[in-house]
């Protein structure tokens, strides 16, 4: 049985199912309920997170499992790490991924390294939910897509779901995974709807999905850029080029095989990533595929990314900042040595 | 107001009262206008309004010159205005236009004017504390008498940077004033819930510095306490925590329906407790300003804000050349 | 010592005194041995020794069971021993051997044994505070009476995480005890210089929790204060800051020549103020232990430490297969 | 006039020269002097940093320019940022780069973004000195090489000097640069000696150096791995293969031209980087060169890096963890399709 629901509802659904399934699952974060200790909100939340994603959890699970925290990211993230190490299965929300500057240590040096440093004698079943993405005019400190920083760090797993279906399945995998996983929620996708299976299901971490089949070009999209890639593919199809669009779904672990297999078929690769261009997921995938599919590549791998610049506030600039179908088509034109479309 | 007037005197002169009232009106009318325009969908991004808290920014900045620094928050419009930022430039910035104070690249959460000592609104809660320390260090190293003020919310006081900064200010006797705008809420969480302390200023004792807690909607109380703190700082006597209990008229951000407040509290705040109303009464009672003068200020400010809006709407958006400019000084 | 004995009683019984004395000796002799071996170049990496501070770890852990958690610091050997970690495994870990508690992957700064409630020494100053909160949350959610102790230095108390954690513990009334080992120095900086407060425990007042400051080389004082704090925590009465004023016998790390301490201070500390000496006297005076018993413990411990060293030296280094093992549980 | 001095002395020399040249240059960090307010140490330091690198600064410049800070990285790093914005030219020491978890926000969201967010109306002439590198048995939280994280972030510049000469010149450039620059000091290089010009000189940020000329292979080494590359090159030379060894010296900006030029000549590239392998400097350079020198590459670009794992403590494992000449030669053997050396 499937049901049409938004990306945001898919998250809500996954969390609710997880909390029903395992009483050790707890929610931790700033205003994940909201209104703690306000008389008329004791048994209900005020917000359910800044975008309302966790609405209803207090009503269903009570405040002993839904913790509104003070504005103390290092404090509550570190707490979540050891809550995980001592028997809970926390979902800790970092409201915007841009706030990682306040709690990177807890993620990088504690959560990610406990197991290794302790010789395999600890496990940290922690899920971090966080919001990324530009396109909301939220400016330089609320629009970053920082998944590359986390992908760099061994001991963490990194998911970047692009659809409601993937979100639910990946988030449930993350929650019940015994390692720390960070799941990125693109803020501009919250309202996006799609078919989602009802009930409990998981999508394995480390398994890419081919979102569109094609033979002339492979486009790998990260997170919401999967949709930009799909739009570009549609327009390329009008001109007779069939692009294969791959969504890696998790950046760590990375499903190299699916990507390499596709490139071996198409001989061309464009990676679309709205994050900063240096030491990024885009360069990472380009390096890996560039090495392992070397003999099959007809043209250099192209990356369509943000420029090496903070995210601008003004809508006029932010639009230029982000990848677009036009930029992808432009890159493809360069690859095939002709103007496939006149640039729009 | 000339720098020396601000610096030399803690007296509430007529001139000062007029400056104060004007700044309070500018903030209030600016924020009310932004509220309305935002509701119409003409302003992009997140906006956090300062209306209701005017007495804090204005009461403190009344003692500061352009050489003094302030650090601000996500709720920064009031601090900008009180510190003397250009109102056309501010409004245009919020509209994302090329004529904005930051060329439209910063927006509401990042308005800044370093030339006025306004080191930026800040989208990161808790980021302002250490920044104020840096300005204090510059004053110490260069042996000036400049001071730095860190404006922050009650919610921000739970962030570790608050303590790291106070401790540094205290051990180095830096000229830094920590001004808490305790509006009772951090987003949708009450101060009573999120903070174990009774008053944010209670920490002063442990750090062996001065702490004061005042009614933050009483301009005069803020003005006087801030005057003492700034004087101490200029004299090299170190930091102060000044907690101002206040109220924000609008939601946490534009769009917030404030289900966590009761109707009664909201109504009460907008009536007799209102900071501007109270300062009007004070100014009239003490013959600092006449009714006519107040009305004239109101009208002048209205014209100013209207002008800022028109200016902003008429301004172009930044062009493509701006996208990768200003990332570095050098290239 | 059986869990129930530890938990049910704050009495200094003969049995408890013996356990305490043994643990103190284990720590002292362990650290002295590591000091000597490090000087010979047989131990890799950074080593920070706990000798001199035994009364704190032991006086506190005397109240804890394996179900209670502790978080530790870069100076973690003492906490490990007091919390019941295996001494052979600890020594082998410091030697980087495959038989180490962490298979040689962690080393001195990362010894851990989660099964004993020892959540790890930690190379990051300030990291332990939030971790203790997490263990406290687990207790709260699961409604057990387990407590969590965060051991930390005076220097660490200037890190923002200290305050973030106390505040969370206080608002949620978590069973967490913050035990400050105030040895007067953070590396080469004095507490008096680096911290504005007079006592670290002074912060308790602002957070409206209990704070105590005790002589950290007086085992009995630590034991009693910790007993009260642990009892309050188990009863659901929330956190405590327990500051123990103590002294580290060796340098900040092995190799530090301690030019920042005067000779006199150093000599004095190693004589009449010494924690072990003082506890010996106390135990004898109160007829808890006889001279013979003390000597026997000393000898037993010596044999234990000798064994640990021999065991470590005989142990193999981890082999190549370990390099990329334990990065993840799942793959 | 040149003089033989250690990497550590070159740093000391650069800082001393900078502080003489400009009274706005101040030093900030934990125990950068040591012994503040200890009676007998008022006019001298106890440590001069944890490795003694800043020894003598207090004696020469006094405690009003050399600030021993509390253990409060966010606090003093944020202070350094705005001290820079308000008229000083601070050198802020992050003792180990691993501690960035406590102050990433100050670096990523404040220092790096001020200028852009403020429309070009601020400058942040801040230098961050920090220690990286494995090989010291300092375990997982004191051995990382995290320069990729910083290279990812627009608004920062990143230097990774490999020799005393480069260190002095790059550090002086960093200090007098008007943008925030982070300079990585590899802890295992402190004792390494080399010829250094006396007096003031700078090396431009963004200019690679060819440390050895060759025609058969290009090896790019990051930081101390330049030396591993040079050792491998020597051994390859014995077998008749001439490797060109390039030190990018700064990762941001990156001198693409020198690298690409070399690869166009040699047709083969190995990148040696001891940092984590994902979203790294190694994948970054591989992606860039792989795109721009595509037609000149005879074989896939190889990366010799750490495994995707935290740094182990035990000497036996740490040795295996790091790149080595053997691993480079092994990679080259694979490239040329023969065992050039029997693996050692
Ligand atoms: C580090 C960080 N954490 C969380 C947020 C999200 N956030 C923005 S404003 C805010 C509440 C701040 O409350 P307070 O300091 O009391 O200021 P007020 O909004 O009441 O003026 C929060 C949690 C943020 N911007 N930065
Ligand atoms: C976040 C962080 N900053 C700095 C350091 C370096 N460091 C290690 S121990 C130490 C001093 C700690 O002093 P204190 O907390 O008093 O503990 P003590 O060494 O006296 O036991 C410092 C600065 C670190 N490991 N982590
Ligand atoms: Mg507030
Ligand atoms: Mg100490």
> Which pLDDT tens digit goes with each residue over A13-68?
999 999 999 999 999 999 999 999 999 998 899 999 999 999 999 999 999 999 99
Closest chain B residue to A138, measured at CA: B45
- Give buried/exposed letters for D304-329 (b at 16+ CB in 10 A, else e): bbbebbbbbbbbbbbbbbbbbbbbbb
Question: In DSSP terms, which residues pair with D219 in a beta bridge?
Answer: D245, D270
User: Three-class SS of residue B68?
Assistant: coil
Instruction: Output the domain CATH number for residue B286.
Output: 3.40.50.970
Res A238 pLDDT > 80: yes
Percent of chain D whose pLDDT exceeds 90: 97
Judged by CB atoms closer than 8 Å, whether chains meet at C323 and D310 is answered as no
For residue D141, give the nearest of C109, C159, C262 by CB distance: C109
User: Is A227 assigned a catalytic role?
Assistant: no
Which of D230, D206, D198, D208 shows the shortest CA–CA distance to D217? D230
User: How far from chain centre, in Å, is Cα D323?
Assistant: 17
Question: D249: which DSSP letter?
Answer: S
User: How far from chain centre, in Å, is Cα B330?
Assistant: 32
Cβ under 8 Å to C: A residues 152-211: 154-155, 157, 177-179, 206
**Maximal C-alpha separation, chain B:** 58
Instruction: Determine contact, residues A299/B315, Cβ cutoff 8 Å.
Output: no
Instruction: Determine contact, residues D232/D329, Cβ cutoff 8 Å.
Output: yes
How far does chain C reach from its first CA to its final CA, in angstroms?
38
Q: In chain B, which ranges are continuous DSSP H helix?
A: 3-8, 14-39, 54-61, 77-82, 87-94, 128-142, 160-171, 191-194, 203-207, 219-234, 263-270, 275-285, 291-314
pLDDT, average across residues D187-203: 98
Domains contained in chain A, CATH given: 2-197 (3.40.50.970), 209-336 (3.40.50.920)
Res B283 pLDDT > 50: yes
CB contacts of D107 in chain A (<8 Å) are: 101
Judged by CB atoms closer than 8 Å, whether chains meet at D82 and B131 is answered as yes
Question: Is residue C79 included in any domain, yes or no?
Answer: yes
**What is the model's pLDDT at position B2?**
53
Judged by CB atoms closer than 8 Å, whether chains meet at B190 and A38 is answered as yes
Question: How far apart, in whole angstroms, are the C-alpha atoms of residue D220 and residue D287?
Answer: 13
Q: Which of D32, D47, D95 to mutate to test the pocket of ligand 2 (most atoms within 8 A of CB)?
A: D95
What's the number of CA atoms in the CB half-sphere (13 Å) around residue B55? Answer: 31
Chain A neighbours (≥3 Cβ pairs under 8 A) are B, C, D
Judged by CB atoms closer than 8 Å, whether chains meet at C160 and B163 is answered as yes
A76 touches ligand 1 (CB under 6 Å) = no
Res B300 pLDDT > 90: yes
Q: Rounded to two decimals, what is the model's pTM? A: 0.98
Question: Is residue C73 included in any domain, yes or no?
Answer: yes
Percent of chain B whose pLDDT exceeds 90: 92
Q: Is A16 exposed, middle or buried (0-12, 13-18, 19+ CB in 10 A)?
A: middle
Which of C159, C132, C156 shows the shortest CA–CA distance to C229? C132
**What is the model's pLDDT at position A272?**
99
Res D205 pLDDT > 60: yes
- CA B226 to ligand 4 centroid distance, Å: 36
Q: Give the pLDDT confidence of C112-147 residue by residue, as tens digits.
A: 999 999 999 999 999 999 999 999 999 999 999 999
Question: Is residue C331 included in any domain, yes or no?
Answer: no
Judged by CB atoms closer than 8 Å, whether chains meet at B110 and A139 is answered as yes
Substitution target in A76, A79, A81 with the highest count of C β-carbons within 10 Å is A79
Domain count across chain B: 1
Res C176 pLDDT > 50: yes
CB contacts of B172 in chain D (<8 Å) are: 67
Average pLDDT of the residues of chain B: 96
Q: Give the pLDDT confidence of D141-185 residue by residue, as tens digits.
A: 999 999 999 999 999 999 999 999 999 999 999 999 999 999 999
Res B8 pLDDT > 70: no
Q: Give the pLDDT confidence of C17-32 residue by residue, as tens digits.
A: 999 999 999 999 999 9
Q: Give the pLDDT confidence of C75-122 residue by residue, as tens digits.
A: 999 999 999 999 999 999 999 999 999 999 999 999 999 999 999 999
**What is the model's pLDDT at position A344?**
42
CB contacts of B127 in chain D (<8 Å) are: 78, 105-106, 109-110
C188 touches ligand 2 (CB under 6 Å) = no
**What is the model's pLDDT at position B3?**
56
Question: What token pair was written down for B63?
Answer: 């003692």
Question: Is residue B8 included in any domain, yes or no?
Answer: no
- CA C319 to ligand 3 centroid distance, Å: 55
Question: Is residue C129 included in any domain, yes or no?
Answer: yes
Res A343 pLDDT > 80: no
The tokens 């999508």 sit on which residue?
Answer: A203
**What is the model's pLDDT at position C9?**
62
Res B9 pLDDT > 70: no
Average pLDDT of the residues of chain A: 97
The tokens 């095939």 sit on which residue?
Answer: A336
Which has the higher per-residue pLDDT, B31 or B330? B31
Q: Give the pLDDT confidence of C197-252 residue by residue, as tens digits.
A: 999 999 999 999 999 999 999 999 999 999 999 999 999 999 999 999 999 999 99
- CA C188 to ligand 2 centroid distance, Å: 10
Question: How far apart, in whole angstroms, are the C-alpha atoms of residue B38 and residue B121?
Answer: 19
Judged by CB atoms closer than 8 Å, whether chains meet at C168 and A109 is answered as no
Q: Give the pLDDT confidence of B217-276 residue by residue, as tens digits.
A: 999 999 999 999 999 999 999 999 999 999 999 999 999 999 999 888 888 777 778 999
**What is the model's pLDDT at position A341?**
56
**What is the model's pLDDT at position B270?**
79
pLDDT, average across residues D23-49: 96
Q: Helices C14-39 & C219-234, crossing angle to 10 degrees? A: 110
**What is the model's pLDDT at position C270?**
79
Instruction: Determine contact, residues B254/B35, Cβ cutoff 8 Å.
Output: yes
C186 touches ligand 2 (CB under 6 Å) = yes
Judged by CB atoms closer than 8 Å, whether chains meet at A72 and C326 is answered as no
The secondary structure of A240-273 as a DSSP string is: T--EEEEE-SEEES--HHHHHHHHHHHS-EEEEE
Atom of ligand 1 nearest to the CA of B187: 11
- CA A25 to ligand 1 centroid distance, Å: 26
Angle at the Cα of A82 from the Cα atoms of A78 and A85, rounded to 5 degrees: 150
- CA D71 to ligand 2 centroid distance, Å: 7
A71 touches ligand 1 (CB under 6 Å) = yes
C252 touches ligand 2 (CB under 6 Å) = yes
Cβ under 8 Å to D: B residues 130-149: 130-138, 140-142
Closest chain B residue to C194, measured at CA: B171
Judged by CB atoms closer than 8 Å, whether chains meet at D117 and B131 is answered as no
The tokens 């009465």 sit on which residue?
Answer: C237
Question: How far apart, in whole angstroms, are the C-alpha atoms of residue C199 and residue B159?
Answer: 21
Q: Give the pLDDT confidence of D83-105 residue by residue, as tens digits.
A: 999 999 999 999 999 999 999 99
Average pLDDT of the residues of chain C: 96
CB contacts of D64 in chain B (<8 Å) are: 140-141
A185 touches ligand 1 (CB under 6 Å) = no
Res D224 pLDDT > 90: yes
Q: Give the pLDDT confidence of D236-277 residue by residue, as tens digits.
A: 999 999 999 999 999 999 999 999 999 999 999 999 999 999
Question: How far apart, in whole angstroms, are the C-alpha atoms of residue D15 and residue D48?
Answer: 12
B188 touches ligand 1 (CB under 6 Å) = no
Domain span including residue B253: 14-314
Q: Which of B152, B164, B186 to mutate to test the pocket of ligand 1 (most atoms within 8 A of CB)?
A: B186
**What is the model's pLDDT at position C265?**
80
Substitution target in D283, D294, D317, D335 with the highest count of A β-carbons within 10 Å is D283
| Candidates D40, D142, D152, D227; catalytic one | D142
User: Three-class SS of residue B70?
Assistant: strand
Question: Is residue B188 included in any domain, yes or no?
Answer: yes
D342: confidence class by pLDDT, cuts 50, 70, 90: low
Report how far apart, in Å, the C-alpha atoms of C78 and of each of B56, C51, D51, D197 are.
50, 8, 26, 49
Question: Is residue C322 included in any domain, yes or no?
Answer: no
**What is the model's pLDDT at position B6?**
59
**What is the model's pLDDT at position B269?**
77
**What is the model's pLDDT at position B162?**
99
Res C2 pLDDT > 60: no
For residue A317, give the nearest of B105, B193, B259 by CB distance: B105
C182: confidence class by pLDDT, cuts 50, 70, 90: very high
CB contacts of C126 in chain D (<8 Å) are: 71, 102
Residues, beta carbon < 5 Å, ion ligand 3: B 153-155, 183, 185-186
B187 touches ligand 1 (CB under 6 Å) = yes
- CA C191 to ligand 2 centroid distance, Å: 12
- CA C180 to ligand 4 centroid distance, Å: 9
For residue A139, give the nearest of B97, B123, B322 by CB distance: B123
B53 touches ligand 1 (CB under 6 Å) = no
Q: Give the pLDDT confidence of B44-95 residue by residue, as tens digits.
A: 999 999 999 999 999 999 999 999 999 999 999 999 999 999 999 999 999 9
Question: Is D37 near chain B, with CB under 8 Å?
Answer: no
Which of D328, D331, D264, D319 shows the shortest CA–CA distance to D291? D264
Question: Is residue B331 included in any domain, yes or no?
Answer: no
């Amino acid at each position: 049985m499937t049901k049409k629901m938004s990306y945001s509802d898919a998250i809500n659904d996954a969390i609710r199912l997880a909390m029903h399934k395992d009483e050790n699952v707890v929610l931790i974060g700033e205003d994940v309920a909201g209104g703690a200790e306000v008389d008329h909100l004791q048994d209900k939340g005020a917000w359910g997170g800044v975008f309302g994603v966790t609405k209803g959890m207090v009503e269903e699970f009570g405040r002993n499992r839904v913790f509104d925290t003070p504005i103390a990211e290092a404090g509550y993230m570190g707490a979540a790490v050891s809550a995980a190490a001592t028997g809970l299965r926390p979902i800790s929300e970092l409201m915007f991924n841009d706030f990682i500057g306040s709690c990177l240590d807890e993620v990088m040096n504690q959560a990610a390294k406990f197991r290794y440093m302790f010789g395999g004698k600890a496990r940290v079943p922690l899920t971090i939910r966080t919001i990324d993405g530009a396109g909301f005019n939220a400016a330089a400190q609320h629009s970053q897509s920082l998944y590359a920083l986390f992908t760099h760090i061994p001991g963490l797993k990194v998911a970047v779901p692009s659809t409601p279906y993937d979100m639910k399945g990946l988030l449930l995998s993350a929650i019940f995974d015994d390692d720390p996983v960070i799941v990125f929620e693109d803020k501009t996708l919250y309202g996006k709807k799609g078919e989602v299976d009802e009930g409990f299901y998981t999508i394995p971490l480390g398994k890419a999905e081919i979102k569109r089949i094609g033979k002339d070009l492979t486009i790998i999209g990260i997170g919401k850029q999967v949709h930009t890639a799909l739009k570009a593919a549609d327009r390329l199809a009008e001109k007779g080029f069939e692009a294969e669009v791959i969504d890696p779904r998790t950046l760590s672990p990375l499903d190299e095989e699916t990507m390499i297999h596709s490139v071996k078929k198409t001989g061309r690769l464009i990676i679309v990533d709205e994050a900063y261009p240096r030491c990024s997921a885009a360069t990472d995938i380009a390096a890996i595929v560039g090495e392992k599919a070397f003999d099959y590549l007809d043209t250099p791998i192209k990356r369509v990314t943000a420029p090496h610049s903070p995210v601008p506030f003004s809508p006029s600039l932010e639009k230029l900042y982000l990848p677009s179908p036009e930029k992808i088509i432009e890159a493809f034109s360069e690859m095939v040595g002709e103007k496939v479309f006149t640039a729009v | 107001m000339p720098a020396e007037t601000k610096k030399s005197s803690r007296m509430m002169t007529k001139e000062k009262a007029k400056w104060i009232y004007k700044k309070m009106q500018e903030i209030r009318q600016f924020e009310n206008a932004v509220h309305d325009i935002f509701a119409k969908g003409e302003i992009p991004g997140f906006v956090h309004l300062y209306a209701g808290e005017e007495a804090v920014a204005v009461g403190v900045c009344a003692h500061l010159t352009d050489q003094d620094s302030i650090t601000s928050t996500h709720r920064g419009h009031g601090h900008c205005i009180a510190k003397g930022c250009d109102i056309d430039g501010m409004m245009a910035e919020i509209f994302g236009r090329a004529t904005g104070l930051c060329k439209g690249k910063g927006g509401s959460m990042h308005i800044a004017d370093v030339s006025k000592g306004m080191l930026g609104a800040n989208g990161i809660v808790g980021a302002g504390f250490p920044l104020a320390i840096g300005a204090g260090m510059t004053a110490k190293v260069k042996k000036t008498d400049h001071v730095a003020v860190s404006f922050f919310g009650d919610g921000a006081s739970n962030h570790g940077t608050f303590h790291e900064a106070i401790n540094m200010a205290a051990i180095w006797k830096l000229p830094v004033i920590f001004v808490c705008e305790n509006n009772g809420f951090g987003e949708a969480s009450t101060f009573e819930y999120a903070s174990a302390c009774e008053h944010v200023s209670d920490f002063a004792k442990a750090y062996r510095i001065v702490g004061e807690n005042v009614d933050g909607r009483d301009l005069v109380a803020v003005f006087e306490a801030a005057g003492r703190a700034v004087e101490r700082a200029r004299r090299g006597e170190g930091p102060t925590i000044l907690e101002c209990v206040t109220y924000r008229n609008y939601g946490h951000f534009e769009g917030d329906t404030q289900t966590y407040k009761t109707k009664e509290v909201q109504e009460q705040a907008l009536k007799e407790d209102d900071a501007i109303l109270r300062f009007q009464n004070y100014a009239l009672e003490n013959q600092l300003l006449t009714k006519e003068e107040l009305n004239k200020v109101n009208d002048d400010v209205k014209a100013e804000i209207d002008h800022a809006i028109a200016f902003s709407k008429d301004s172009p958006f930044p062009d493509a050349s701006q996208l990768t400019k200003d990332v570095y000084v050098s290239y």
